[in-house]
Structure 1
Amino acid sequence: MVVLTYGVAVALVCTGVIIWVVSMGKSEAGIGLALGGVMLFILPLVLPHYLGAECIPQ
């Protein structure tokens, strides 16, 4: 599931950057897509910590 999330995040970032570059820096949607992709990439790394999945008592 994490690999699928990373794939979608990379696709969003690439699409956002392409839209932003093609519009010569005028598209806010491109920046939004790129930032959304970055957040989607980071979310699986930090979400288990906040849900308590990393703190398993031994």
Structure 2
Amino acid sequence: MADEKSRNRRRISIDGAGIERRRTAVQTIVDQVPPPRTDRGAVPGPVPGVSRDERDQVREG
């Protein structure tokens, strides 16, 4: 069963634009700031409309 699933899975090539898409996706994840935890342990989502520069200024200041 597992072999059949792996055979039917779509193959992703890692050449040309594929590498750039992966790099961009990884960089996007790396650039995200982990949200602070609240007292109750819930993690708030990202704040819409805040640019990376504005976020970095808040972190520095």
Smaller-chain TM-score bracket: 0.3 to 0.5
Higher relative contact order (Cα pairs below 8 Å, separated by 6+ residues)? 1
| Alignment TM-score, normalising by the size of structure 2 | 0.37
Query: Computing the radius of gyration over CA atoms, which structure comes out larger, 1 or 2?
Result: 2
| Alignment TM-score, normalising by the size of structure 1 | 0.38
